[in-house]
Amino acid sequence: MKLSKSSLFKKKILLCVCAGISAYKSIILLRLLIKSGAEVKVILSPDAHRFVSPLVLSVLSKNKVFSSFTNSENEWNNHVEYGIWADLIVVAPATANTISNIAIGASNNLLLSTILSSTCPVFIAPAMDHDMYLNKITQENIKKLKKNSFLFIDVESGELASGLIGKGRLSEPETIVTKLETFLSNMLPLSGVNCLVTAGPTFEKIDPVRFIGNFSSGKMGCCIANELIMQGATVELILGPSTESVNENINLNRVVSAQEMLDISLEKFEKQDIIIFSAAVSDYKPKIIHHKKIKKKSDDLNLSLNKTEDILKTLGRRKKNQILFGFALETNNEIESAKRKLEDKNLDAIILNSLNDKGAGFGFDTNKISIIDSNFNIKKYPLMSKVELSKIIVKQATNMFFKRFDIKNKSVK
């Protein structure tokens, strides 16, 4: 099973609906935004209720819908608070009248005042008759707003309410949502950054029914991969035998053995910017793999084992400018053992977790870690969910990446 999260997920969207015949499409747009995981509030222009029902919009958004500075209880609807609340404002449909009023900085209704007082990106999706849209005044207003950082979703051509055929139709709700998602994705700090994550155990076959393995569930690595996607990265996940769910936008590479994980890691490594290896790779594999099930006998079964290649050390030798993180699961001399691995494998940081900590390690939804960087600076974190820890790990790795390449004005939330 794969989980998909739109870049609109948990975003606060203020949908502003103007008085035009295409206002009925705002219902479809609202549904799509909600389906994408956004929280939506709706403001109507004073006459928009004549074209679309405030009750329908309220029921769908699960928020009250307002169109004036005071509500039915004569309480003030604070346009400043609406502007602060929103991550994005979408004016759809935007009439020629509203576009004109925004262009001159008018604030004589709740919708206009909210837009004027907002600091978030504002998308305008025009909808009007062909001649109104092409009118020089309308086109000048649009140019003026574009110069002032307003973002436009172009009209479409087709049959119009007047009976004319031409430009002026409101862009389809699906198109509007896609453009919003693309905009938000490009705003994310890791947009354009390639990341590689390994997760889960590896299984080394003894015979067709038996294997050498470990108890790793892959939870931690999958959480890291999901968080990287949420920050806009392109993610390759190499996942050993695991039932964990991941975002459908992750390029998932399923493997079983340590050799398979090594082969794909070597194939993908050169193109990556950030690499986080959380997989619990088998240290040994049977020298001989039996092609038929080994029959149970009265005497002991002895296995001869060969050491597997150390994937992280192999890649550490090939590292150029990439940020490379590894994990260390220790039971004794933890800090010193982790430091040795950090140096030996040429890592930028190592994430230490201990089987001695209750609620940490394999199979749990929680973990307790320490992050040690290449200067041996140590940051210890208390027991917390693997989801929250993934945010900490991703933030540390990406901030190292920004610093290494002197990328400014970027941050990971």
Tens digits of per-residue pLDDT, 3-61?
A: 446 788 889 999 999 999 999 999 999 999 999 999 999 999 999 999 999 999 999 99
CATH of residue 211: 3.40.50.10300
At 412, is the pLDDT very low, low, confident or very high (cuts 50, 70, 90)? low
- Predicted pLDDT at 83: 87
Give the per-residue pLDDT at 319: 94
Among residues 149, 151, 158, which one has the least CA distance to residue 94? 151
Stronger pLDDT, 186 or 269, i.e. the higher one = 269
Task: Find the catalytic residue in 77, 214, 253, 399.
Answer: 214
Specify whether 322 is located in the same domain as 363. Answer: yes
pLDDT at 76 over 80: no
- Residue 133 and residue 209 share a domain: no
Structural domain containing residue 171? 10-187
C-alpha torsion sign, points 143, 144, 145, 146 = positive
181 with 198, same domain?
no
Q: What are phi and psi of 281, to 5 degrees?
A: -80, 140
Task: Identify the pLDDT of residue 114.
Answer: 95
Q: Are residues 177 and 209 in the same domain?
A: no
Which domain CATH number covers 49?
3.40.50.1950
pLDDT at 331 over 80: no
Statement to judge: residues 332 and 229 lie in one domain:
yes
Report the candidate in 235, 227, 152 with the shortest Cα–Cα distance to residue 196: 235
Residues 234 and 91 in one domain: no
pLDDT tens-digit series, residues 122-153? 999 999 999 899 999 999 999 999 999 999 99
Tell me, yes or no, whether 296 lies in a domain: no
Residue 35: phi and psi, rounded to 5, are: -65, -30
Angle at the Cα of 378 from the Cα atoms of 377 and 384, rounded to 5 degrees:
150
Residue 141 in any domain: the answer is yes
> DSSP code of 107?
-
For the residues 358-380, what does the mean pLDDT come to?
89
pLDDT score recorded for residue 329: 87
Mean pLDDT of 382-405: 94
208 pLDDT higher than 80: yes
CA dihedral 67, 73, 75, 77 (to 10 degrees): -20
pLDDT at 19: 95
The pTM assigned to this predicted structure is 0.69
What is the SS3 assignment for 336? helix
Structural domains counted in the chain: 2
Residue ending a domain, among 187, 219, 251, is 187
| 101, 213: one domain | no
Which of 187, 212, 231 represents a domain boundary (last residue)? 187
For 343-370, b/e burial (b = at least 16 CB within 10 A) is eebbbbbbbbbbeebeebbbebebbbbb
pLDDT at 75: 65
In a domain, 137, yes or no: yes
* CA gyration radius, the chain: 28
CA dihedral of residues 56, 59, 65, 70 (deg, nearest 10): 110
Mean pLDDT of 383-393: 95
Report percent pLDDT > 90 for the chain. 76
Look at residue 139 in the predicted model and tell me its pLDDT: 97
Considering the domain boundaries, does residue 99 fall inside one?
Answer: yes
Count of alpha carbons within 13 angstroms of residue 146, beta-carbon side:
11
Contact (Cβ atoms closer than 8 angstroms) between residue 87 and residue 118: no
Q: Is 410 within the bounds of a domain? A: no
Determine the average pLDDT of the residues in 187-203.
Answer: 93
Q: How confident is the model at residue 413 (pLDDT cuts 50, 70, 90)?
A: low
Weakest mean pLDDT among 61-75, 102-116, 183-197, 346-360: 61-75
Residue 413 forms part of a structural domain: no
Mean pLDDT of the chain: 91
pLDDT of residue 239: 98
Confidence band (pLDDT; 50, 70, 90) for 93? very high
- At residue 171 the predicted structure's pLDDT band, cuts being 50, 70 and 90, is very high
- The pLDDT, as a whole number, for residue 69 is 84
Q: Are residues 113 and 202 in the same domain?
A: no
- H-helix or E-strand containing 115? helix 110-117
Q: Is 214 a catalytic residue?
A: yes
123 and 212, same domain (yes or no):
no
- What is the Cα 388 distance to its own chain's centre? 14
Question: Of all helices (H) and strands (E), which one includes residue 147?
Answer: helix 136-147
- 168 or 150, which is more confident? 150
Number of neighbours of residue 47 by Cβ within 10 angstroms:
15
| SS3 per residue for 248-309 | CCCEEEECCCHHHHHHHHHHHHCCCCEEEECCECCCEEECCCCCCCCCCCCCCCCCCEEECC
1 lies in some domain: no
Residue 410 has pLDDT above 90, yes or no: no
384 to each of 313, 392, 393, 401, how far by Cα in Å?
Answer: 29, 11, 13, 25
Percentage helix, strand, coil for the chain under 3-state DSSP, each rounded to 5: 35, 25, 40
Going 377 to 382 to 383 to 389, the CA torsion angle's sign is negative
What pLDDT is recorded for position 81?
87
What's the mean pLDDT in 382-409? Answer: 90
pLDDT at position 4: 46
Residues 53 and 199 in one domain: no
Q: Is there a single domain that holds both residue 183 and residue 205?
A: no
Tokens 């941050």 locate to 411
Characterize the bridge pairing of strands 274-277 and 323-330. Answer: parallel
Q: What is the mean pLDDT of residues 274-290?
A: 95
Residue 412: phi, psi to the nearest 5? -110, 125
Quick one: 392 exposed, middle or buried, by C-beta within 10 A (0-12, 13-18, 19+)?
middle
Q: Where among 129, 153, 187 does a domain terminate? A: 187
Ramachandran area for residue 328 (φ above 0: left; ψ -120 to 50: alpha; else beta)? beta
Question: Does some domain include residue 21?
Answer: yes
Same domain? 83 vs 219: no
